[in-house]
Structure 1
Amino acid sequence: MTAPAASPHQAEPTKQQIRRWRRHLANERAEAATYRAIAAKREGEEREILLALADAEGRHEAHWLELLGEHGEGRARADLSTRMFAAFSRQFGSVFTLALMQNAEARTPYADDPDATEQMEVDERIHEEVVRSLATRSRARMSGTFRAAVFGANDGLVSNLALVLGVGATGVSPGVVLATGIAGLLAGALSMGAGEFVSVSSQRELLAASTPDPDTPRRIPALDVDANELELVYRARGMSREEAAACAAEVWARIGAHPVSGPMHLHDDHVDPDHEELGTPWGAAISSFLFFAGGAIIPVLPWLFGMSGFAAIVLAAVIVGIALILTGGVVGVLSGATPWKRALRQLLIGYGAAAVTYVLGLLFGGVVA
């Protein structure tokens, strides 16, 4: 794409325009560098796609350079968020950075900038879809274990905070609160680990039972062409009679043209036999156990270090609140959503559960007293 020249009615850009163009230029350069940094950690098709995105940002860079002309050498810094993405691409996993870049591409400033071309705005929208697809691939590779880890950590934080606050509110000794918290940690972690193992195992078994038999395509050439029971396979998979007949005819045509040219495929036989998105039963179980235990130990820390009474309750609530905000924000980023909304949701849910048990503990303590 050839970058358009500055509009003829304005020979000399204003200072405001120069500042804005330089900022856009710096952002494009930073985004291109981010894509190249992520590409350095990938290989094959994904690497090529990321490098193509970097080249596209280079075309946008050329547009702003042409508009700036002799003013293009001035200093300008990219937006803070764009600089953060560049730093994250060097320090963190690419899935985290891709999720952030997905949000960044969705918030393109070119829609409201009169000096940006319409094609540049469309490019940014398409970049969002490209990055979304790349991020989805990465999420699929980590979703099973990541789901167990996130759920385990949040369950540990919320359930044990509610437990120790409820018990602490009754007025029992700090030792009882600590013992209750440790017992809740172990019981919850073991339960979560066992539950994830059974859940993932069951899901994989159900999916395996629904996966097409890999030997079926090899038996196709021996079928009776006149009876054509191959149509029944397609109809059983949800196709109409006409669609099934067309697919069967296509398969027979390929067999006629290449009778011994290798294995045949039934259109939708390309199913992931490893069910990568689910993760493995042991991976999910161990991840869930460890992260639940890691989350559940946080509410117990004040009592573990000798604190007691209302001060321990307040400190437990504060540190768990910080942890809930962090985990909620991370989930929001990786899911392509606004981080602060997910963080606030996590915080409100956690504090809501803890508040209920705390009030019940106060009432129970008053009745017993």
Structure 2
Amino acid sequence: MTDSASPQHAASAEPSPAQIRRWNRYLAEERAEAEIYRRLGESSSGRHKEILLQVAEAEGRHSQYWEDKLGPHTRPSPRPSLGSRLLIFLAEHFGSVFVLALIQRAESRSPYDKDEDASPAMAADEAIHEEIVRALANDGRQRLSGNFRAAVFGANDGLVSNLALVMGAGATGMSSTMVLFTGIAGLLAGALSMGAGEFVSVRSQRELLDASSPTQITLSAAPHLDLEANELELIYQARGMTPEAAAHRAQERLGHLDCDCDPSLSFKDPDPDDDTAEPDNVALGTDLGAAASSFCFFASGAVIPILPYLFGMGGGWALVLAMTLVGVALLVTGGLVGLLSGASPLLRGLRQLAIGYGAAIATYFLGLLFNVAVL
């Protein structure tokens, strides 16, 4: 038998039980992925909606491929994995960047490039789908990055700093009431410090941008300039234009040209003489809003370590419960960071946990040292 006849023989051969199970599993996953993309597309709008629905059609073609290969061995309704069913639920009720980040990880683990039963085109499709989802998720990451960063890092700072403070205070032998008041003081001091710092940061950045932004002086001063010694061109050269481009723009402002007929003269940034352009500092938000958000996020994290003391607990068991509650919170915040970045949520959660526990244990032993010194 020649080598060229082997693929035909393999194509007509009866699939093995292992192949039937594997193909039905692929079929279930492809149907689930098509449903995920369809639901995400229906909950989206504009460009995202069109792209997601087209990817759903592609996943539908993949499922048809496995149906054709299975033929009479196709199960009526093969059940997808638990993870795929969870993604369907999330896409239906919480369609967001987090779902796209999870799908991105799923697409990156496609088995088709190692399975000879899958066509090379399907393996290539899955690789392309990963990049499509990565791009769509990145849009969401860009929109969330500022607020999400403030929320995660504010809450994380509250968790770690106040847990460390409570652990250190508890190790010195203080009474439960004193540990509680120490934790409350740490909460207020840290939250106020975070809020004040964010206020100053945003206010300073807005003032810096205001001082650096070009004004509209060229619009009002142009009619009165000396045409023989025209400093208007110098303004545009200072803004980064070539001498030729600056001369062209100056002629426009003086009314000698009706339009910008040279596309190479466009600014890299929005035209500073365009009074309809959105200011750069709009994206910063307000200083008071940023301060309030930082205060609330820090306080929400810092209150967790003192919950056992608020409910009347004390001693070692209160410290153990505080460590447990903060540990769960650190795993959650670390997992959210992992989801948003497309990395492993478990690894990111464990990293947050190790950092937080490291700081708490260090201050606990420091508190023990002070306790021994006092004794």
User: Do the structures match in fold with TM over 0.5?
Assistant: yes
CA 1:277–1:62: 2 relative to 1, 3 Å: farther
Deviations 1:333-364 (A, max 9, x none): 11111111111110111011001110110111
Q: Which runs of 5+ in 1 are unaligned?
A: 1-5
Deviations 1:88-131 (A, max 9, x none): 21232411111111111122211111122222222222212221
User: Which is worse superposed, 353-362 or 62-71?
Assistant: 62-71
Instruction: Give the structure 2 partner of residue 299 of structure 1.
Output: 305
Query: Is the contact made by 2:165 and 2:363 (CA closer than 8 Å) also made in structure 1?
Result: yes
Q: What is the one-letter code of the residue matched to 2:341?
A: S
How far is 1:207 from its partner?
4.4
How far is 1:204 from its partner?
4.0
- Whether 2:342 is the aligned partner of 1:336: answer yes
Distance 2:104 2:247 in 1: 41
Deviations 1:278-308 (A, max 9, x none): 4543443222211211111110011111111
Distance 1:293 1:131 in 2: 35
Query: Is the contact made by 1:144 and 1:280 (CA closer than 8 Å) also made in structure 2?
Result: no
How far is 1:230 from its partner?
7.0
Paired-residue identity, %: 55
Instruction: Give the structure 2 partner of residue 46 of structure 1.
Output: 48
Distance 2:356 2:94 in 1: 27
How far is 1:228 from its partner?
12
CA 1:247–1:99: 2 relative to 1, 3 Å: farther
Instruction: Give the structure 2 partner of residue 290 of structure 1.
Output: 296
Query: Is the contact made by 2:154 and 2:297 (CA closer than 8 Å) also made in structure 1?
Result: yes
Distance 2:234 2:111 in 1: 52
Distance 2:124 2:370 in 1: 62
- Whether 2:14 is the aligned partner of 1:8: answer no
Deviations 1:125-182 (A, max 9, x none): 2212221121111122222211111011101110000001100100011110000111
Distance 2:296 2:78 in 1: 45
CA 1:187–1:234: 2 relative to 1, 3 Å: same
Instruction: Give the structure 2 partner of residue 150 of structure 1.
Output: 152
Distance 1:286 1:111 in 2: 50
Instruction: Give the structure 2 partner of residue 3 of structure 1.
Output: none
CA 1:78–1:296: 2 relative to 1, 3 Å: same
- Write out aligned runs for 1:66-215 (5 A): 66-207=68-209, 209=211
User: Which is worse superposed, 280-289 or 61-70?
Assistant: 280-289
TM-score if structure 2 supplies the norm length? Answer: 0.82
How far is 1:209 from its partner?
5.0
CA 1:83–1:276: 2 relative to 1, 3 Å: farther
Distance 1:24 1:88 in 2: 21
Query: Is the contact made by 2:233 and 2:250 (CA closer than 8 Å) also made in structure 1?
Result: no
3-state DSSP of counterpart to 2:312: coil
CA 1:136–1:299: 2 relative to 1, 3 Å: same
Instruction: Give the structure 1 partner of residue 274 of structure 2.
Output: none
CA 1:36–1:13: 2 relative to 1, 3 Å: same
Number of residue pairs aligned between Structure 1 and Structure 2: 357
Query: Is the contact made by 2:218 and 2:232 (CA closer than 8 Å) also made in structure 1?
Result: no
Query: Is the contact made by 2:43 and 2:95 (CA closer than 8 Å) also made in structure 1?
Result: no
Q: Which runs of 5+ in 2 are unaligned?
A: 1-5, 272-276
RMSD of the alignment, in Å?
Answer: 3.6
CA 1:156–1:259: 2 relative to 1, 3 Å: closer
How far is 1:74 from its partner?
3.6
